[in-house]
């Protein structure tokens, strides 16, 4: 897209206003007090001018994740859901499966870009990430790995710069 067209488009999506974010940390060991990645996400959301309207730490178990995801989806104040943790390939990592089961649409580019950017930082270990993004019932859902470095990368480089644009696209006439 030519620079002028990109800037015109950027201005057009600017009037969305603060979005409500749900932050869900998936972990068998973290608590709200020890959840550095969840804290980082919440601080970044507020710093970007949005609001954290829901925050939970949930065990990395299928039913617990499904229940919290459903609660966040049912909350009318939530526009964007960001999970962290549970996206790896171990037997305990079930976030990817649970989240992809409920997606109405996948944002294929999110996972592709996340892994490309991760590769630039950590090399071939990026292939172990199953970060995913998509849409469920007019809400945007992102699943990030649990490391603070991965959370920072996903939020700073992908999610926060595009959150208002994604919301606008989902809700335009």
CA distance 62 to 112: 24
Residue pLDDT, tens place only, 5-36: 444 444 444 567 899 999 999 998 999 999 99
Confidence of residue 166 (pLDDT cuts 50, 70, 90): very high
- Its sign, for the CA torsion 159, 163, 167, 168, is negative
Q: pTM of the entire structure?
A: 0.90
Per-domain boundaries in the chain? 18-26+36-171
CB 95 within 8 A of CB 42: no
Residue pLDDT, tens place only, 98-127: 999 999 999 999 999 999 999 999 999 999
For domain 18-26+36-171, which CATH number applies: 3.40.980.10, 1.10.645.10, 3.40.630.30, 1.10.10.10?
Answer: 3.40.980.10
CA distance 153 to 1: 24
């Amino acid at each position: 897209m030519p620079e002028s067209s990109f800037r015109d488009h950027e201005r057009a999506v600017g009037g969305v206003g603060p979005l409500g974010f749900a932050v869900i940390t998936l972990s068998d060991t973290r608590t709200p007090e020890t959840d550095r990645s969840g804290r980082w996400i919440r601080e970044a959301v507020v710093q970007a001018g949005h609001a954290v309207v829901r925050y939970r730490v949930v065990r990395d178990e299928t039913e617990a994740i499904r229940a919290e995801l459903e609660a966040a989806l049912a909350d009318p104040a939530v526009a964007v859901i960001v999970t962290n943790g549970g996206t790896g390939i171990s037997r305990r990592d079930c976030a990817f499966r649970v989240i992809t089961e409920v997606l109405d649409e996948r944002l294929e580019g999110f996972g592709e870009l996340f892994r490309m950017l991760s590769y630039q930082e950590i090399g071939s270990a990026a292939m172990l990430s199953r970060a995913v993004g998509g849409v469920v019932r007019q809400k945007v859902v992102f699943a990030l790995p649990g490391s603070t470095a991965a959370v920072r990368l996903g939020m700073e480089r992908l999610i926060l710069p595009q959150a208002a644009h994604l919301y606008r696209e989902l809700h335009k006439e």
